[in-house]
Chain A
Amino acid sequence: MAISFAMPERVERERMMAQALAEGIMRPVSRQLDENEHERPVDFIKLIWPVMRDQQARALDRLKAPPDQEKEKKPRSPYLAMMVQIEALSWGDAGQYLCIPSPLLAGAAIEAVGTPEQKERFLRRFAEGDAPRWGAMAMTEPNAGSDTKAIETTAVLDPETHEWILNGEKIFITSGGLALRESDGIVVVWATIDRSAGRAGMRPFVVEAGTPGVTVSKPEIKHGIRASDTVSIKFENCRIPYDNLLGDPEVRREGSREGFRGAMATFDASRPLVAASALGVGRAALEFVKETLHQHGIDIPYDQPYHKLSAIQRDVLEMEAQLKAAYLLTLRATAMLDEGLRNSLEASMAKAKAGKAVTKVTQKAVELLGMMGYSREWLVEKWMRDARINDIYEGTGQINLLIVARRILGYSSSELS
């Protein structure tokens, strides 16, 4: 091994394709979709579905291939490819990107703890057909945000029918409506099979579209990422097959965090990818600021002494440095995923830094461009609103700092809460 920042050619090609899609398909309708909340990015979905579908098909085929062939066929840097694609698509429009027809976080959970049979059964639908399908993850509840162990949704086993019965309410589910109402998709629902066991009692369950006892509420009205579908889902005596439980049904006590670990493994993969989405929005704002300033005769030098720089040039340099710092932390966390290394610390570092950096960078962009920044004629104000979620979802900045702190200090969650 040697330290290297060289993107594999294949990854670079995929980045360029995503960037072209972002420019040609997403940007032109970005404003319209922001103004008409809950309208779907139909062109983007139509174009990206076959791409996502074929990718999923290849991934599933690899699972079936004998081990020696599997190694050969495996793309060398799948997470890196995802990172650069997500960054580019989010540069196009973060809200539209979130509408991407794929298993998304549900897929991440199934990948992390599902059996081969479950992967085939739940993910095959994302690998075939002309109609796009979505996956979603339902974790948050009205009384359980960052405190995930406080979830109240229950899963009770019916010993006669051997079915799980789900009861409870989940909120803030990205693409939940697309998954359950507008397609033949799936939602991974976190519920407790033993409330007294706390985190150890938490388990992910797969609920398929069309299951009775599921009610999807009307979508949330949001500050940003308005093109993204965010809903609540109610489970009322919702019965699902026993085998829709992901992972081990046994609750091991004595400090076991079995169920919780599955969720955390999901986050290790999803946090760098959320950071990547944040970076795309940040880059959109930075590029726009630089281009606009350039048109007004202000360029950003990289070789001038501090006293020769104007306040605006200093601000832009600071924005650029912050984004670069966040980008490199994200790149590291993602590269570790591809190498199969444990990356909880690095993933949280990347997510905390990226969430904060893009929030500041986009807010500064609106400030620097004055009335042009504030005007809804341009997209800068939208990017500022879109960026804000990145320091909130998939673990707030504070939760990620807490995780970083525990890791660097060697503290458990009870020692540092």
Chain B
Amino acid sequence: MVSFTPTEEQQMLIETIHRYAEAEVRPIAHEADETGEIPAGVLRAGWEIGLIPAALPEAYGGLGEHEALTGVLAAEELAWGDLAVALKVLAPALLAYPVLIAGTEAQQAELLPLFAGDYVPMTAALAEPGLFFDPRALATTATAQDGGYVLNGVKSNVPLAAEAHKLLIYAREDSGAVGAYIVDAGADGLTIGEREKLMGIRGLPTYPVTLSGVRVDAVRRLGGEAPLPYEAILNRQRVALAALAVGVARAAFEYARDYAKGRVQFGVPIATKQAIAFMLAEMAIEVDAARLMTWEAAWKLDQGQDATREAYLASRYAADTVVFVADSAVQTLGGYGFIREYPVERWLRDGRGFAMFCGLATV
């Protein structure tokens, strides 16, 4: 049966997040972008919606709701509010979901309960500095030594690294395969660099992280001896990123649409001119197309099918779409589009960030 209607529970979740995004996130989004800080209360309220806690197995205080489809519906709505807030609220998932997907029983028992209570900053380090990043050719290494591992290398764009309690470090193993290692904040040899200065998503602090001979016990390797289901983790991140991009794109489209209906030039709203109306129509079509591609990829993941192709195409398409739509929104607002008091230029800066994320997960 082909259908495009979310379940009632999903619909309620979307509405809950929308209320939060509209009432609490939108009002602080500009300030967060200017100052680089997201108010603790907004973060707390976002966490309390319970997206990540609900994903935990019942044994660890969750509801076991770990559907990718529910995840993308939630992510779109959160990002509609603000991308930096969405990413900060969701950052702990960078550790929680891989543990959920690939952790040993002991690792799950130790780590998952950490996500059941209040917001705890957690993160993962995948990307590496340099012009060309390839997640299958990591320069960071994990060398087997004395029954454990030693990590060496430099990571970049690690969200919340300075405050995270734990970091999941992705590294190339002796076999050439990628492994992931759970490292505590303050581990010997782990250095957090200065906060990175980015074009957009400025409310979300990201850092370079240096690993110089960081020792990890064998039990801290995600999944123990088992090979890491790296593709599954990446695919999950791809569809989440695609959904976030759709959320930003939709925000920009809706704002431009409403603006064009209210902005009068030549005695009529500019939306009554085909040059503007057609641009808005194309924006609407592209937002819907990107969303449908994201849904299809998420649905395939939930069916347990190989969704590499769908996740890849969806994340690329959504990353292109958000820039196209946000750029068109800036154009719709004309001079005002360029003024920081209006949100559309922020959405263009935030949207371009997916090109960078795509260096993290889409590739």
A305 at the interface (CB under 8 A from B): yes
Give the shortest distance, in Å, between B333 (CB) and chain A (any CB). Answer: 16
Contact partners of A401 in chain B: CB under 8 A: 277-278, 281-282
Are B1 and A405 in contact, CB atoms less than 8 angstroms apart? no
Contact code string B215-251 (vs A, CB < 8 Å = 1, else 0): 0000000000000000100100000000000000000
Write the B1-34 contact mask toward A (1 if CB under 8 angstroms, else 0): 1111111001000000000000000000000000
The distance in angstroms between the C-alpha atoms of A303 and B363, with both chains bound, is 6
How far is the CB of B74 from the nearest CB of chain A, in Å?
Answer: 13
CB closest chain-A residue, reference B2: A335
- Which residues of B have CB within 8 Å of A405? 274, 277-278, 280-281
Binds A, one of B55-63, B156-164, B292-300: B292-300
Q: Pick the contact of A416 from B69, B257, B272, B316 — CB < 8 Å?
A: B272
Judge if A311 is at the interface, Cβ distance under 8 Å: no
Contact between B299 and A306 (Cβ–Cβ < 8 Å)?
no
8 Å CB contact of B231 from A303, A326, A335: A303
Among candidates B4, B7, B359, B363, residue contacting A332 with C-beta atoms closer than 8 Å: B4
In Å, the complex CA distance between A304 and B137 comes to 11
Q: Which residues of A contact B234 (CB under 8 A)?
A: 303
Near B by CB (< 8 A), chain A positions 297-311 give: 302-308
B313 CB contact (under 8 Å) in A6, A7, A320, A404? A320
A408 to B363, CA, bound (A): 34
Inter-subunit contact B292/A329 (CB<8 Å): yes
| In the assembled complex, A38 has its CB within 8 A of some CB on chain B | no
* Contact of A331 with B by CB under 8 A: yes
Given A303-B308, A335-B4, A398-B278: A324 and B285 interface contact (C-beta under 8 Å): no
Chain A residue with Cβ nearest B306 = A302
Q: Is the CB of A4 within 8 A of B134?
A: no
**Smallest distance from the beta carbon of A301 to chain B beta carbons, Å?**
9
User: Is the beta-carbon distance between A324 and B293 smaller than 8 angstroms?
Assistant: yes
Residues of A within 8 A of B3 (CB): 1-4, 335, 339
B282: chain A residues within 8 A (beta carbon):
401
Q: How many interface residues does B have (CB within 8 Å)?
A: 50
How near does chain A come to B254, taking the closest CB pair, in angstroms?
10
Contacts A302-B308, A302-B309 given; indicate if A3 touches B285 (C-beta within 8 A).
Answer: no
Q: How far is the CA of A80 from the CA of B3 in the complex (A)?
A: 11
Closest to B234 in A: A303
CA distance A324 to B307 in the complex (A): 14
Size range of the chain A interface in the assembly:
35 or more
Once bound together, how far apart are the Cα atoms of A377 and B134, in whole Å? 41
B132 at the interface (CB under 8 A from A): yes
User: Is residue B124 within 8 Å, beta carbon to beta carbon, of the partner chain?
Assistant: no
Interfacial chain A residues near B211, Cβ < 8 Å: none
The answer to whether the Cβ of A409 comes within 8 Å of any Cβ in the partner chain is: yes
| A409 to B273 Cα, complex, angstroms | 12
Within 8 A of A (CB), among B253-268: 257, 260-261
B289 & A408 in contact (Cβ 8 Å cutoff): no
Task: From the candidates A321, A331, A408, name the one contacting B281 in the complex (CB within 8 A).
Answer: A408
Q: Check A4 against B261 for contact (C-beta < 8 Å).
A: no
- Chain B CB within 8 A of A353 CB: yes
Known interface pairs A304-B363, A325-B289, A405-B278. Does A5 touch B316 (Cβ–Cβ under 8 Å)?
A: no
Contact of A117 with B by CB under 8 A:
no
Residues B105-125 near A (CB distance < 8 A):
none
Residues of chain A within 8 A (CB-CB) of B257 are 408-409
Interface of A is mostly: helix
Q: Separation in Å of the A358 CB from the closest CB of chain B? A: 14
Q: Does B133 lie at the interface of the complex (its beta carbon under 8 Å from any beta carbon of A)?
A: yes
Interface of B (DSSP majority class)? helix
**Could you tell me which residues of chain B, from 177 to 236, have a CB within 8 Å of some CB in chain A?**
231, 234
A306-319 vs B, Cβ < 8 Å mask (1 yes, 0 no): 11100000000100
**Chain B residue at smallest Cβ distance from A301:** B312
B4 to chain A, nearest CB (A): 5
User: Which chain A residue has the least Cβ–Cβ distance from B294?
Assistant: A328
B284 is an interface residue with CB less than 8 A from chain A: yes
Partner of A331, one of B2, B271, B290: B2
B100 within 8 A of A: no
CA distance A401 to B277 in the complex (A): 8
Given contacts A303-B312, A306-B363, A401-B281, contact A6 B69 (CB under 8 A): no
Q: Which of B82-137 contact A (CB under 8 A)?
A: 131-136
Measured CA separation A401–B275 after assembly (Å): 11
- Closest chain-B Cβ to A124's Cβ sits at a distance in Å of 32
Q: How far is the CA of A77 from the CA of B2 in the complex (A)?
A: 9
Q: Which of B132, B274, B358 contacts A402 (CB 8 A)?
A: B274
Residues of A within 8 A of B280 (CB): 405, 408-409
A5 near B2 (CB under 8 angstroms)?
Answer: yes
B65 contacts A by Cβ under 8 Å: no
User: Is B317 an interface residue when CB atoms closer than 8 A count as contact?
Assistant: yes
User: Which of B5, B288, B289 meets A2, CB within 8 Å?
Assistant: B5
Question: Once the chains bind, are A6 and B5 in contact (CB under 8 Å)?
Answer: no
**Chain B 332-363 against A: per-residue CB contact (8 Å), 1 yes, 0 no?**
00000000000000000000000000110001
Partner of A415, one of B5, B272, B309: B272
Among A120-167, those with CB < 8 Å from B are none
Report the Cα distance A363→B135, complex, angstroms.
34
A152: min CB distance to chain B, Å: 26
Q: Give CA–CA (A80, B45) in the complex, Å.
A: 43
Roughly how many angstroms separate A187 CA and B308 CA in the complex, as a whole number?
Answer: 48
Could you mark each residue 397-417 of chain A with 1 if its beta carbon is under 8 Å from any beta carbon of chain B, else 0? 010011011101101000110
Q: How far apart are the CA atoms of A304 and B296 in the complex, in Å?
A: 20
Counting CB contacts under 8 A, is A116 at the interface? Answer: no
B1 touching A302 by the CB < 8 A rule? no
Q: Which B residues lie within 8 Å of A80 (CB)?
A: 2
- For the complex, what is the distance from the CA of A409 to the CA of B283, rounded to whole Å? 12
Residue in A320, A339, A404 whose beta carbon sits within 8 Å of that of B284 in the complex: A404
Shortest CB-to-CB span from A84 to chain B, Å, is 10
Q: A303-B312, A332-B292, A402-B274 are in contact. Are A353 and B2 (CB under 8 A)?
A: no
CB of A273 within 8 A of chain B? no
Q: Is the CB of B308 within 8 A of A5?
A: no
- Among B231, B271, B290, B295, contact of A3 (Cβ-Cβ < 8 Å): B295
- Say yes or no: is A173 at the interface (Cβ < 8 Å to chain B): no
Residues of B within 8 A of A3 (CB): 3-7, 10, 69, 295, 299
B289 touches A1 (CB 8 A): no
**A/B interface sample: 15 pairs, CB < 8 A:** A1-B3, A3-B5, A77-B2, A303-B312, A306-B363, A307-B131, A353-B285, A402-B274, A402-B281, A405-B277, A405-B278, A408-B257, A409-B271, A409-B280, A416-B274
Give the B-binding residues of A (Cβ under 8 A): 1-8, 76-77, 80, 302-308, 317, 320-321, 324-326, 328-329, 331-332, 335-336, 339, 349, 352-353, 398, 401-402, 404-406, 408-409, 411, 415-416
Q: Give me 7 other A-B pairs in contact (C-beta within 8 A), A305-B133, A402-B274 excluded.
A: A303-B231, A303-B363, A320-B313, A328-B296, A335-B4, A402-B278, A408-B257
User: A-B pairs with the 10 shortest C-beta distances?
Assistant: A305-B363, A325-B289, A328-B292, A405-B277, A1-B5, A404-B281, A405-B281, A302-B309, A302-B312, A401-B281
